[in-house]
Structure 1
Amino acid sequence: MPEDIIIVGAGGFGRETIDVVRAINATATEPVWNVLGVVDDGPSPVHGARLAALGIPHLGDIEELRSHVASARYVIGIGSPSVRAQLSERIDSWGGRAATLIHPAAVVGSEVRIGEGSVVCGGAQISTNIVLGRHVHINPGAIVGHDCRLEDYVSINPGAVISGDVRVDSGTLIGAGAVILQLLEVGPGALVAASACVTKNVPAGATVRGVPAR
């Protein structure tokens, strides 16, 4: 029997997460997940309409999840690392159990550990000897090189490239198409702008952009 799951967030990544769930079910011998619906405190009319087009109900605000934690898993489909951290702490205090979702079209190498609540989208490539923390998002087409460590609540946006032996600390967002060169560390809570090329360590909480990133 498939396990019930609730998606937190009706925005773009929440709906991408639904696609990951559906791809997992489509390639399994029998369905793995049953999406009960989405919780969101205030979906916009556009997001609500797009969710309805997928045939997925909006169950209500985040408090609605509290009544389901004993019987359903959850996954947070919200791109902001800080919001994910706040929500996961709140849901876990209710006894929530996070699911880990890996799209069947993602490439995952050997000796890879992926924390609970993480979502790996289709087309992502994760090399060997990788550690992903809790609630990490690897967007479509992102590449994580060998021997990297991505801590909790990291977001790697579409097409970003993390070279070998890189550490990305908690709550960091790597923008679309950005490149982090090998043997570097990106500090906690940092933001690497889209298409930036990081050639030296990034301090905690810093925002860097450009080529080379400053």
Structure 2
Amino acid sequence: MKDKLLIIGASGHGKVIADIALQMNRWNTILFLDDNERVKRAMGLDVIGKTKDVDKFIADYDIFIGIGNNQIREKLQNQLKASQATIPTLIHPSAVIGSKVAIGQGTAVMAGAVINCCSKIGDGCIVNTGATIDHDNCIEDYVHISPGVNIAGSVKVGRSSWLGIGSKVSNNIDITSNCIIGAGGVVVQDIYESGTYVGVPVKKI
């Protein structure tokens, strides 16, 4: 790890990432890259270039992608990996992380989140504010767990899926990759087909 952090993306999600980084008190310097030329500062931190400039900073900075879109985050993180960038994991100090939990690089765990024992969280994930992930879960790479989501034990969530705010997943459920679970949706059966699911219980639309 380096003593300087560069966050790609200075809008809403990026600002939350910066707040976590500040709360962690690990980096002496925190700065942004953002492609919106009108954005010069965010969270009191300077924007020093655009996304395309990132290679100039890899030697001196840890790099974190503060972009909420799963596909864009995956694309950029793969580029960073190919460039051998140092990609940290960010965990808010108020989050509760159980024993034998593995959390991948480029993943952000936000304020008030709970990840219980023996769960595995992949690379580039978002575990958003107040979400709970119980024991023995497998959350694959580039998944977004929205605020207030509750996931029971022994659940698998496939790559690049997005669980909307306040949704719930019963225990022993598999959700395939590239799924969207709508806000407040309740998943009580395995989901084998990618798509968008809403309702209580959820149905594909």
What interval of TM-score do these two structures reach, taking the shorter chain for normalisation? Answer: over 0.9
| SS in structure 2 of the partner of residue 33 of structure 1 | coil
Partner residue in 2 for 1:141: 130
Gaps of 5+ in 2: none
Superposition deviation, residue 93 in structure 1: 2.0
Superposition deviation, residue 14 in structure 1: 0.6
Partner residue in 1 for 2:35: 41
Structure 2-normalised TM-score? 0.94
Superposition deviation, residue 42 in structure 1: 2.5
Query: Are 1:84 and 2:99 matched, yes or no?
Result: no
Amino acid in the other structure paired with 1:196: G
Partner residue in 1 for 2:93: 104
| SS in structure 2 of the partner of residue 207 of structure 1 | strand
| SS in structure 1 of the partner of residue 28 of structure 2 | strand
Equivalent positions of 1:54-93 (< 5 A) are: 54-93=43-82
Matches of 2:84 and 2:179 in 1, distance apart? Answer: 30
Structure 1-normalised TM-score? 0.90
Partner residue in 2 for 1:4: 4
**Root mean square deviation of aligned Cα:** 1.6
Percent identity over paired residues: 32
Partner residue in 1 for 2:169: 180
| SS in structure 2 of the partner of residue 22 of structure 1 | helix
1:72-100 deviation per Cα after TM superposition (whole angstroms, max 9, x unaligned): 11111111111111111122222212111
Matches of 1:3 and 1:204 in 2, distance apart? Answer: 43
Partner residue in 2 for 1:128: 117
User: Which of the residues 111, 131, 147 maps onto 1:158?
Assistant: 147
Residues 134 and 152, structure 1, Cα contact 8 Å, conserved in 2: yes
Query: Are 1:18 and 2:18 matched, yes or no?
Result: yes
1:21-74 deviation per Cα after TM superposition (whole angstroms, max 9, x unaligned): 11111xxxxxx113441112226x5xx37x44x211112211221101111111
More helix by share: 1
How many aligned residue pairs are there?
Answer: 203
Gaps of 5+ in 1: 26-31
Amino acid in the other structure paired with 1:39: L
